[in-house]
C-alpha cells in the first residue's frame, strides 16, 4: 500500500517526545505533522511556541482530524486512559510506555480487536533495537527457544562504569543522575522492574504468553557493591542485568536477575547505555540485536518507525498469542511458568538472618569477614521471590 500524509496528536514532550520531534523534522520520506502536543506542567519553559501545546487531553482526543495518537508520558494511569480512549474512538496509537502496556496488556489487546485499530509500541522495548517487529515478522513461524537480553541502559551504564572506574554503586549512581543517565528516583530501573515490563512484552510476541508483572521474578542491582564487581573481575567475568525468557520442555522460565557473564558470550561486550537482545530459535540458531537502549533520539527514532508503519496500515498480527489462546482456551498462562527449578547463585550479605528465607540446597563456596560475607550456592528459584521488590533488603544476588 502507498504511504499517506498522517496527522499526529502527541502526549508528552519530555526526553522521548523531543527526540521524536527532532527525528520527524529530519525525516526525508515520512509526511507527518504534529498537530498538537498535550503536556501537564504549565510553568515549564519549552523550546516551541506556546500555541503548539495544550493542557487538555480532549483537545487531541476529541479532534476528528488526528490519524495517530502518540503517547509518551510517565504517568501510567493517565497513559492507559489516553490510549484506551483513543482506541475506543477508532484512532491508531503509538506508545513507548512499557509499564502501562505490561500492566494493562490484556485489556489493550482486547480493545485492538474490538475497535479494529493498531497499537504499536516498538519504542517501549530496547530503545532503537527493532525487536518487537522482528519477533512479529521474521520469527513469526520460528520455534523460539530463548530470548536473553540486556534491556536497561541505566543499569548497564552503572555496571560498566563501576567496573572500569573501580567506584562503588552510590558514587556512579549519583553521577549518572546528574548526567541524565538515571532518574531522580531510579528504583524502576535498578530494581529490574523496567526490564521485567519489557520482557513481558517480548514474551507476548516470542511465545504468545500473556502474563502479569507480579508473576515474574525481578532482582536488580540496587544492592551491588564494588566488591561484587571485583569478585567477577578476578574470575574473568562481568556482571550484567539480564532478562531471560526460555522454553524448557513444555514450560517457560521468565525472569530478570544480575548474571555473571564470561567472554564467550556476545553480551559480555555490551557496555554503557547499549542494550542487546539475543534470540535463539530451533532453525535460525542464535542472532544478536544491539543498539542504544535509551536516549532521546534512539527511542524517538523507534517511535517514528512505528508512525511510519501506520502509514502502510500496519498492525501486529499476534499470531503466536492467538494460537496459544486457541490451543489453551480458558487456561492461565502462568501455570506454564516454571519457578520450581534449582539454580546456582552468588549471594552477598551482612548476616545470616538476611538470607534465612532463601532455600539453600547446597553451598559450593563460602567467604566470611567482618564487613562482607558471600556464598556460591545452589538454591530453589522460587525462594528468590522473597527478595523481589524488597526495598529493605541489602542482599545482592547474582546468577552464576
User: Is residue 268 a contact partner of residue 238, using CB atoms and an 8 Å limit?
Assistant: yes
**For residue 368, what pLDDT is reported?**
94
**For residue 196, what pLDDT is reported?**
98
Question: What pLDDT digit, counting tens, does each position of 131-150 carry?
Answer: 999 999 999 888 999 999 99
Q: Is the pLDDT of residue 353 over 90?
A: yes
Question: What pLDDT digit, counting tens, does each position of 105-121 carry?
Answer: 999 999 999 999 999 99
335 among known catalytic residues: no
**For residue 3, what pLDDT is reported?**
56
Q: Is the pLDDT of residue 126 over 60?
A: yes
**For residue 293, what pLDDT is reported?**
82
Percent residues over pLDDT 90 in the chain: 87
Three-state secondary-structure class, residue 324:
helix
Q: Is 386 exposed, middle or buried (0-12, 13-18, 19+ CB in 10 A)?
A: middle
**For residue 197, what pLDDT is reported?**
98
**For residue 102, what pLDDT is reported?**
98
pLDDT interval class at 1 (50, 70, 90) = very low
Question: What pLDDT digit, counting tens, does each position of 240-298 carry?
Answer: 999 999 999 999 999 999 999 999 999 999 999 999 999 999 888 899 999 998 778 98
CA Rg value for the chain? 22
**For residue 134, what pLDDT is reported?**
95
Q: Is the pLDDT of residue 2 over 70?
A: no
Of 198, 240, 247, 292, the catalytic one is 198
Distance CA 231, CA 237 (A): 8
Nearest-CA neighbor of 26 among 295, 297, 309?
Answer: 297
Distance CA 129, CA 215 (A): 26
How distant, in Å, are the alpha carbons of 17, 181, 276, 284, 384 from that of 217?
31, 25, 20, 28, 8
**For residue 88, what pLDDT is reported?**
98
**For residue 147, what pLDDT is reported?**
98
Residue range 157-175: mean pLDDT, rounded:
96
- Phi, psi angle pair for 329, to nearest 5°: -55, 125
**For residue 59, what pLDDT is reported?**
98
* pTM, entire model: 0.96
Question: What pLDDT digit, counting tens, does each position of 204-247 carry?
Answer: 999 999 999 999 999 999 999 999 999 999 999 999 999 999 99
> β-strand 238-248 against 32-38: which pairing, if any?
unpaired
Mean pLDDT of the chain: 95
How distant, in Å, are the alpha carbons of 12, 231, 338 from that of 384?
37, 21, 13
Distance CA 296, CA 17 (A): 8
Q: How many CB atoms lie within 10 A of CB 267?
A: 20
Which stretch of DSSP H or E encloses residue 107?
A: helix 105-115
Side-chain-facing half-sphere of 34: CA atoms under 13 Å: 23
Q: What angle do CA 360, 244, 307 make, to 5 degrees?
A: 155
Amino acid at each position: 500500500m502507498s504511504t499517506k500524509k498522517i496527522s499526529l496528536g502527541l502526549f508528552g514532550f519530555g526526553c522521548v517526545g523531543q527526540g521524536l520531534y527532532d527525528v520527524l523534522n529530519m525525516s526525508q520520506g515520512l509526511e507527518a505533522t504534529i498537530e498538537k502536543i498535550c503536556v501537564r506542567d504549565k510553568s515549564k519553559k519549552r523550546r516551541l511556541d506556546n500555541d503548539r501545546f495544550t493542557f487538555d487531553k480532549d483537545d487531541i482526543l476529541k479532534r476528528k482530524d488526528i490519524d495517530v495518537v502518540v503517547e509518551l508520558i510517565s504517568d501510567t494511569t493517565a497513559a492507559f486512559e489516553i490510549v484506551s480512549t483513543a482506541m475506543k474512538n477508532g484512532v491508531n496509537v503509538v506508545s513507548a510506555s512499557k509499564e502501562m502496556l505490561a500492566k494493562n496488556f490484556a485489556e489493550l489487546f482486547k480493545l485492538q480487536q474490538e475497535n479494529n485499530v493498531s497499537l504499536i509500541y516498538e519504542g517501549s522495548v530496547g530503545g532503537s533495537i527493532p525487536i518487537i517487529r522482528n519477533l512479529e515478522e521474521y520469527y513469526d513461524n520460528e520455534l523460539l527457544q530463548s530470548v536473553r537480553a540486556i534491556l536497561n541502559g541505566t543499569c548497564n551504564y552503572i555496571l560498566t562504569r563501576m567496573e572500569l572506574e573501580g567506584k562503588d554503586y552510590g558514587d556512579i549512581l549519583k553521577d549518572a543522575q546528574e548526567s541524565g543517565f538515571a532518574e531522580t528516583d531510579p528504583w524502576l530501573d535498578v530494581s529490574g522492574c523496567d526490564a521485567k515490563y519489557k520482557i513481558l512484552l517480548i514474551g507476548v510476541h516470542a511465545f504468545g504468553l500473556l502474563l502479569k508483572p507480579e508473576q515474574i521474578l525481578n532482582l536488580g542491582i540496587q544492592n551491588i557493591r564494588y566488591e561484587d564487581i571485583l569478585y567477577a573481575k578476578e574470575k574473568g567475568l562481568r556482571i550484567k542485568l539480564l532478562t531471560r525468557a526460555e522454553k524448557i520442555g513444555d514450560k517457560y522460565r521468565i525472569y530478570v536477575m544480575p548474571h555473571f557473564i564470561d567472554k564467550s558470550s556476545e553480551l559480555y561486550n555490551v557496555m554503557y547505555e547499549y542494550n542487546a537482545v539475543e534470540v535463539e530459535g530451533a532453525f535460525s540458531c542464535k542472532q544478536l540485536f544491539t543498539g542504544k537502549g535509551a536516549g532521546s533520539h534512539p527511542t524517538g527514532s523507534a517511535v517514528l518507525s512505528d508512525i511510519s508503519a501506520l502509514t502502510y496500515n500496519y498492525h501486529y498480527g499476534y499470531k503466536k498469542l492467538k494460537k496459544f489462546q486457541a490451543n489453551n482456551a480458558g487456561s492461565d498462562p502462568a501455570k506454564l511458568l516454571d519457578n520450581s527449578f534449582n539454580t546456582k547463585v552468588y549471594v552477598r550479605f551482612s548476616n545470616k538472618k538476611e538470607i534465612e528465607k532463601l532455600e539453600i540446597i547446597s553451598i559450593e563456596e563460602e567467604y566470611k569477614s567482618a564487613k562482607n560475607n558471600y556464598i556460591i550456592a545452589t538454591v530453589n528459584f522460587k525462594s528468590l521471590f522473597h527478595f523481589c521488590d524488597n526495598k529493605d533488603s541489602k542482599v545482592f544476588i547474582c546468577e552464576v
